[in-house]
Structure 1
C-alpha cells in the first residue's frame, strides 16, 4: 500500500489516495496552507489515521471522520467579554493556543472535565487544592492553570494569578522492580503455554525495551534482516480524539529514530513469525484476528492472566522496558548507550530512574 502524504495544491494542502479502485481527493484542514508547519503536521496525522483505518478495514468512505471543522476566529481581549467563571477563561485560553484535535482531547480535556464538575469561580483555587489527585497529576494540572492565568493577566482578562501562590505537591520516587532472569523465563513459558500467539510480542518487549506503542506500531519495513537491525521511528499511539480504541500513527515520543542491532535470538524470533512475502506496511505484531493490538485489552485479558498463573508478582507491561534497561546496566552498557536504546535524547531520564543501579558500591568489610 502506497503511503498517503500531503500534497501541495496551489498553496493549500490536499490528500490524494485510492481505496478499492476509488480515488479520493480532499483538504482535511479547511483553509490550511502547505507552508504552514502546524497545518502540515495536522494533515500528516490525518493521513496516518486514514492509512491505519484502511489497513484495519475501518475506512470511512464519507471522509467525515477525517475532516476538521473550520477554525473559529478567537476574539481578542478587547472584543471578548471578560470571563466570569474559570470554565469560560479556560475555553478562551485553549482556543487561543490553536491546538490540534488530538492534543486538545488529552490533558486539556481532562482538566476541563474537572472544572465542569467542580464549577469553580474565577479566582477560586480550593477546587484544585482539595481535589483527590495524585502528586504527579496535581502538579501537572497546576502547571497548566498557571500558564492559563499568566496569559489571562497579559490580556487583562483577570488582574492577578491566584495559582502562582500554590506550591506543587511532593513526589516520591516509585520503586522500580524489573523482572529477574528467573521471572523472565517463567513469564515467557507462561505465554507459550497460555497465550502462544502473544509470546513473540512479549519476547520482543523484553528483548528491546521499546515502548509498547512502538512495538504495536512496528512494521516489516522497519526490520532489516540483511543488515541485522530494527528501526524504531514511529508508534501507534492512542487517538485521544477518537473513541479510545482507535490508534494514530505518529513519530516516537521524543521525535527521534534509533537503530537497534538484533541479537541472534531476536533475529530468529522475528524470522519465525515473518510471513513468506510480507506486505512491508503490515504490522509485525497483531491480535489473533490480525487486528492492531490494544494495550489495555492485552493487559487485562492476557498479561494479568499469565502473571497470576505463573506466580509472578504483578507489574504492568511497561516493566519490560525497565527490565531491558536494568539488565543492560548490569551487563556493563554505558549510560549513554542505555539512553539510546530507550530512545531518550540524553542521559538525564536514565540517571533519574536508574541511578541507584549504576556503580553500586559493596559494603565495607567490617569484622563482626
Structure 2
C-alpha cells in the first residue's frame, strides 16, 4: 500500500488485518490506530479507504467524532499485543543484514535471555532490569539492557509499538573492565616480554608486537603477510580475528597505516612464515584470543611479580608511553585507530611525566 500523505489517514496491514492510522496532529502528537477487523483483501481495502475518506471529510468540516461511535470502529490497543521476546526476534532479523558475526552472537544471547524470563517479568520493564542484574554480571546486564532499549526504540520508529516502555528505565552503571586504561610500566612490560621468551616462546613475537604497535589484539591476530609492505616499511591494519574466525574488517571499519621501526622490523624478520597470517597458535591455527588469554597469558603472571591485567593493556601501555614521550595526540590516534577526543578523554590523565622544577 502506498504511503499516505502527511495529515491524512493511512490504511495499513497489521498481521494480515486492515487498520487505520490517524494523523498524529489530531491527537496531540500521539500515535493512534484503529482496527477495522477486516482481512487485507482488495475489496476490503476499498472499504477501508472509504472509511478513511469519511473521517477525513468530517475532520475538515469540524464534525469529526473523537469518540468514534459515529464510525463504529474499534480502537486498537495502545500497544499491539506482541511479547518483548517476539519483538526482539524481529529486531534480530532486521539487524542480521548489517551486523558482524560477533555482534549477532551478542543479540542472540539477549534474545535467549528474554525467552528464559517469566511472563510477568517480560511485561514490566523494571522487572526486566532486575532480572538482568540478578542473572548476569553488572557490565553484561548493562549491555543487555541497552540492546533491549535499542530494540524498543526501533520498534517504536517502525510503528510496531506505541511507545518505548524502557525509555525511562534507570540505566545500569558499568564497572571497570579489562578495556579500561590501566597501562603497564616500561619495567612491567619488559618483565612480561622476558617471561614469554622464557616460558612461552611461541607467543614471544606476538606479545612484543602488541606492546610495540598498540594494535587491538584481534588486529594483531588477524594480520596477514600480504598487508606488510617491507619496501615502504608500513603495516596495513585492515582485518582481525574475532573468536577464532577471520574478519575482513577492523573494529572501526577503517584501514590504517602503521610505520615499521627497527624494533618491529626485528620482530617481523624473526617470525616464521609458515602461514598467511603472521601470528598463529601453537597448532598453526588462527589465534583464539580467549584461549591465548586463559592458557598462555594468565599462566605467565603466575611466575612474575606484576599485577595481572589482560592483553588489551598492551594497547593501553603503548598509547600511554607515546604520550609520555611527547608524541602529539593526533599522531597517536592515527597510529592506533582512535579519535584524538577518545585519546584525550581516556589516556591524557594517565601519563607519568614528572613535575618540572620551576
**TM-score of the superposition, structure 2-length normalised?**
0.69
1:105 aligned partner: 104
**What runs of 5+ residues in structure 1 fail to find an aligned partner?**
1-74, 239-245
Map 1:146-165 onto structure 2 (within 5 A). 146-165=149-168
Aligned residues: 279
Shift of 1:173: 6.0
1:290 maps to which of 284, 293, 307: 284
> Would the alpha carbon gap of residues 233 and 123 (structure 1) be closer, same or farther in structure 2, given more than 3 Å must change?
same
SS of 1:111's equivalent? helix
**Structure (1 or 2) with the larger CA radius of gyration:** 2
The one-character-per-residue Cα deviations of 1:18-67 (angstroms, maximum 9, x if unpaired) are: xxxxxxxxxxxxxxxxxxxxxxxxxxxxxxxxxxxxxxxxxxxxxxxxxx
Distance in 1 (CA, whole Å) between partners of 2:281 and 2:256 is 26
2:341 maps to which of 331, 348, 352: 348
1:236 aligned partner: 241
Shift of 1:84: 4.0
Distance in 2 (CA, whole Å) between partners of 1:104 and 1:184 is 32
Distance in 2 (CA, whole Å) between partners of 1:330 and 1:191 is 25
Distance in 2 (CA, whole Å) between partners of 1:226 and 1:98 is 40
Structure 1 position 140 matched with structure 2 position 149: no
SS of 1:260's equivalent? strand
> Would the alpha carbon gap of residues 333 and 115 (structure 1) be closer, same or farther in structure 2, given more than 3 Å must change?
same
The one-character-per-residue Cα deviations of 1:211-234 (angstroms, maximum 9, x if unpaired) are: 111111111112222221211111
SS of 2:284's equivalent? coil
CA contact 2:237–2:256 (8 Å) conserved in 1: yes
CA contact 1:237–1:250 (8 Å) conserved in 2: no
1:85 maps to which of 66, 83, 88: 83
Distance in 2 (CA, whole Å) between partners of 1:268 and 1:359 is 28
Q: Please give the root-mean-square deviation of Cα atoms over the aligned residues, in Å.
A: 2.9
**TM-score of the superposition, structure 1-length normalised?**
0.68
> Would the alpha carbon gap of residues 78 and 103 (structure 1) be closer, same or farther in structure 2, given more than 3 Å must change?
farther
- Please identify, of 163-172 and 285-294, the stretch whose mean Cα deviation from structure 2 is larger: 163-172
Structure 1 position 222 matched with structure 2 position 216: no
Shift of 1:160: 3.0
Distance in 2 (CA, whole Å) between partners of 1:363 and 1:163 is 51
CA contact 1:220–1:284 (8 Å) conserved in 2: yes
**What runs of 5+ residues in structure 2 fail to find an aligned partner?**
1-11, 19-79
> Would the alpha carbon gap of residues 120 and 332 (structure 1) be closer, same or farther in structure 2, given more than 3 Å must change?
farther
Distance in 2 (CA, whole Å) between partners of 1:105 and 1:148 is 13
1:338 aligned partner: 332
Structure 1 position 167 matched with structure 2 position 157: no
Map 1:45-84 onto structure 2 (within 5 A). 77-79=14-16, 82-84=80-82
